[in-house]
Structure 1
Amino acid sequence: MKLNRQKILSFFKKSQNRATVILQDKTKASATIKDALGKAVSNKGELEGVWSKLVLLFAVSKDYVNGDYTEIPKRSIIAILGGLIYFLSPIDVIPDFIPVLGLIDDVFVLNLVYKQVVKDLEKYKIWKDQQDGRIINIDAPSK
């Protein structure tokens, strides 16, 4: 089966436009992330090849929406949320209700998003590790 790359990118662009609007409402953005996470968990077996990338995309988007991490460029967070919106949509280039094939275009978009924002994600991982380090070192003597 050959993917129609242009059609997928067109749908993804629409998802990014929706992401721009949704990001203006913290409640809607959080709900979108939560819904996409639920769908991901339900399809974890089929997403095994991109699972670690997906977890990172969820984490950075959640931390951004909560205001915990804002050092990511707006265009990157829009791309990430746009990818999650595309993933969440049951009606896209290959409808999700088609067994086995339904998530192929979703995985394509998620990989595309990941590649677009990989440098921002590396910075996020460093920040996240530092946050985790502070929690782990809570009993360290203060200076």
Structure 2
Amino acid sequence: MKLNRKKILDFFKKSENKATVILNDKSKANATIKDALGKAVSNKGELEGVWDKLVLLFAVSKDFVNGNYTEIPKRSIIAILGGLIYFLSPIDVVPDFVPLLGFIDDVFVLNLVYKQVLKDLEKYKAWKDNEGKIISIDGSST
């Protein structure tokens, strides 16, 4: 199956626009992260290739929204939340209910976001290490 990159990127841009709005409401942002996390856990097998990246995206977005980590540029957190919003949408370029292929566009977008914000994620990981905290699936500090 050939992905329509332009169509995916157009959908992702709309997700980033939603992320900009959601960031202004802490409860909506936390609910979005929680919903995306639930979907990810329920579909972990299909997300195996991006699982570690996804855990990191959840952790940094949760720490940012809760005010624990604010050293990430706003454009990066918008891209991350945009990726999570795209992932949450059941009707995107390849609907999630399509067997074996439903998450292929989601994985594409999540990898794209990860690459786009990699330097910021490396700084976040260093901060977590410095704080002596482990990055966990729910974004909590252990």
TM-score by length of 2: 0.93
Give the CA RMSD over aligned residues.
0.6
Equivalent-residue separation in structure 2 for 1:20 and 1:87 (angstroms):
16
1:84 aligns with 84
One-letter code aligned to 2:93: V
Does 1:126 pair with 2:126? yes
1:41 aligns with 41
Identity between Structure 1 and Structure 2 (%): 85
| 1:1-143 paired onto structure 2 within 5 Å | 1-132=1-132
One-letter code aligned to 2:64: Y
- 1:63-118 Cα offsets, whole Å, 9 max, x none, are 00000000000000000000000000000000001111000000000000000000
Equivalent-residue separation in structure 2 for 1:62 and 1:109 (angstroms):
19
One-letter code aligned to 2:82: G
One-letter code aligned to 1:65: V
Equivalent-residue separation in structure 2 for 1:105 and 1:132 (angstroms):
35
Shift of 1:130: 1.2
Superposition misfits of 4+ residues, deviation over 2 angstroms: none
One-letter code aligned to 1:27: S
Determine helix, strand or coil for the equivalent of 2:44: coil
* Count of aligned residue pairs for this structure pair: 133
Shift of 1:131: 1.4
One-letter code aligned to 1:43: N
Equivalent-residue separation in structure 2 for 1:81 and 1:107 (angstroms):
14
Shift of 1:132: 1.8
One-letter code aligned to 2:72: I
2:137 aligns with none
Determine helix, strand or coil for the equivalent of 1:112: helix
Q: Tell me which structure has the larger Cα radius of gyration.
A: 1
One-letter code aligned to 1:107: V
Unaligned stretches of 5+ in structure 1?
134-143
TM-score by length of 1: 0.92
Equivalent-residue separation in structure 1 for 2:60 and 2:99 (angstroms):
30
